[in-house]
Structure 1
Amino acid sequence: MARKSIRVNRALSKNASVGVLDSSQILPFGLSVIFGFVVAILLKLDFLWTVLLIAWPFLTWVIVSGKNPKRFMAKTVPVPKWNRGRVIHVYLLKKPKVGRLRK
């Protein structure tokens, strides 16, 4: 008898959201609000430019990361320069010795 996975509740597979923002978009939105207000205060800009400075980094993040920001961020992880396992070197010019199989 084959086991088949059954989806128990569709709500369990969905991400949490706050209003229209997905849970992975809350931090970028907060950072863009802080950035917009700081730059607007330093440059003494009016309300329209402040809203544009808030929206620009956040909308850029949403466009670049797409529906799955975890997949996008996983691509930016650097490759480690060390390896804990054994490294096996295979020389192309030397033929590897293979033992005979017993009959």
Structure 2
Amino acid sequence: MPSNFRPVNTILGSQPRLGPIPADQIIPWFCITGAAYLVGRGFNLSWVSIGFITAWGVSTWWILTGGKSWKFTAKFVPTPTWSRGYARYLRFTSDETENRQTPAKNRQSIRRFTHSI
């Protein structure tokens, strides 16, 4: 009995990469490099010092986020504040549909339901 295996594309479901570098690391690395350059030039540091600051920032970011940056960055998103409120339900079209068949003198005004301040 011959085995009929289907070839599977191994790239399906994998994370996009630029060589060994995950693609979601590139934009933060540019920001870290730019910040290191601005700090280094602000303090009149040499290019070697700026390179060390950049390498330190990039490596720290890669260690913190790894291949799943959403796990680290999701910690800084504030949770929504839920509150319970009670209000009288009024249909949006109540004055249009219910009062259409009633005579004009028996119609209720919507202003009766609103509170004046």
User: Normalising TM by the smaller chain, what interval?
Assistant: 0.5 to 0.7
Paired residue secondary structure (1:75): helix
**In the TM superposition, what whole-angstrom CA distance separates every residue of 1:49-82 from its partner, at most 9, and x where no partner exists?**
0101111221111111122112222333221112
Q: How does 1:1-103 map to 2 (within 5 A)?
A: 8-82=8-82
The one-letter amino acid paired with 1:67 is G
Aligned residues: 80
Q: CA deviation at 1:44?
A: 1.0
1:33–1:54 CA contact under 8 A, matched in 2: yes
Give the whole-Å Cα distance in 1 for the aligned partners of 2:52 and 2:42.
15
Q: Which runs of 4+ in 1 moved over 3 A?
A: none
- Asked whether the equivalents of residues 17 and 23 of structure 1 are also in contact (C-alpha less than 8 Å), the reply is yes
Determine what percentage of the aligned residue pairs are the same residue.
Answer: 29
Question: Partners in 2 of 1:65 and 1:8 — Cα distance?
Answer: 30
How far apart in 2 are the matches of 1:83 and 1:25? 37
Structure 2 unmatched ranges of 5 or more: 1-5, 85-117
Deviates more, 1:50-59 or 1:16-25: 16-25
Q: Is the 8 A contact 1:35 1:53 kept in 2?
A: no
In structure 1, the partner of 2:88 is none
SS at match of 1:51: helix
Deviation per residue, 1:78-103 (Å, 9 max, x gap): 2111268xxxxxxxxxxxxxxxxxxx
Q: Decide which moves more: 28-37 or 16-25.
A: 16-25
**CA 1:7–1:26 in 2, change beyond 3 Å: closer, same or farther?**
farther
- Whose radius of gyration is greater, 1 or 2? 2
Amino acid of the structure 2 residue aligned with 1:24: D
More RCO (CA 8 Å, sep 6+): 1
SS at match of 1:56: helix
- TM-score of the two chains, using structure 2 as the length reference: 0.58
- Output the CA distance in 2 between the equivalents of 1:83 and 1:8: 49
- Given the two structures, how large is their TM-score scaled by the length of structure 1? 0.64
